[in-house]
Amino acid sequence: MSHRKFSAPRHGSLGFLPRKRSRRHRGKVKSFPKDDPSKPVHLTAFLGYKAGMTHIVREVDRPGSKVNKKEVVEAVTIVETPPMIVVGVVGYVNTPRGLRSFKTVFAEHMSDECKRRFYKNWYKSKKKAFTKYCKKWQDEEGKKQLEKDFAAMKKYCQVIRVICHTQMRMLPLRQKKAHLMEVQVNGGTISDKVDWAREKLEQAVLVNNVFTQDEMIDIIGVTKGHGYKGVTSRWHTKKLPRKTHRGLRKVACIGAWHPARVAFSVARAGQKGYHHRTEINKKIYKIGQGYHQKDGKLVKNNASTEYDLSNKSINPMGGFVHYGEVRNDFVMLKGCVVGTKKRVLTLRKSLLVQTSRRAQEKIDLKFIDTTSKFGHGRFQTVEEKKVFMGPLKKDRIAKEETALTHGPRAATGTVLQPEQKVGQISKRNFRRRTKIPEVIFFFSCSHFKDKQKKVTIFLYVEVKTEYILT
Query: CA-to-CA distance for 84 and 82, rounded, in angstroms?
Result: 6
Beta bridge partners of 160: 91
Tell me: the pLDDT tens digits for 258-314?
A: 999 999 999 999 999 999 999 999 999 999 999 999 999 999 999 999 999 999 999
* Residue 331 neighbours by CB distance under 10 Å: 27
What's the whole-model pTM score? 0.84
Q: Measured between alpha carbons, how far apart are the two ends of the chain, in Å?
A: 96
Spell out the residues 6+ positions from residue 183 whose beta carbon is closer than 8 angstroms to its own: 43, 44, 45, 46, 161, 162, 164
**Alpha helix stretches (DSSP H) within 252-348:** none
Per-residue DSSP letter, 362 = P
42-225+275-368 has which CATH code? Answer: 2.40.30.10
What is residue 4's predicted lDDT score, i.e. its pLDDT?
Answer: 60
Task: Report helix angle 190-200 to 140-156, nearest 10.
Answer: 140
Query: CA-to-CA distance for 228 and 78, rounded, in angstroms?
Result: 30
The separation between CA 16 and the C-alpha centre of its own chain, rounded to angstroms, equals 27
pLDDT band at 404 (very low <50, low <70, confident <90, very high): confident
What is residue 373's predicted lDDT score, i.e. its pLDDT?
Answer: 95
Per-residue DSSP letter, 316 = P
With 80 as the cut, is the pLDDT of residue 435 above it?
A: no
Range(s) for CATH 2.40.30.10 in the chain?
A: 42-225+275-368
Query: CA-to-CA distance for 441 and 419, rounded, in angstroms?
Result: 9
User: Which is nearest to 179 in space by CA: 191, 171, 189?
Assistant: 171
Quote the radius of gyration of the chain (alpha carbons, Å): 33
What is residue 460's predicted lDDT score, i.e. its pLDDT?
Answer: 44
What is residue 3's predicted lDDT score, i.e. its pLDDT?
Answer: 62
With 60 as the cut, is the pLDDT of residue 320 above it?
A: yes
What is residue 467's predicted lDDT score, i.e. its pLDDT?
Answer: 42
With 50 as the cut, is the pLDDT of residue 215 above it?
A: yes
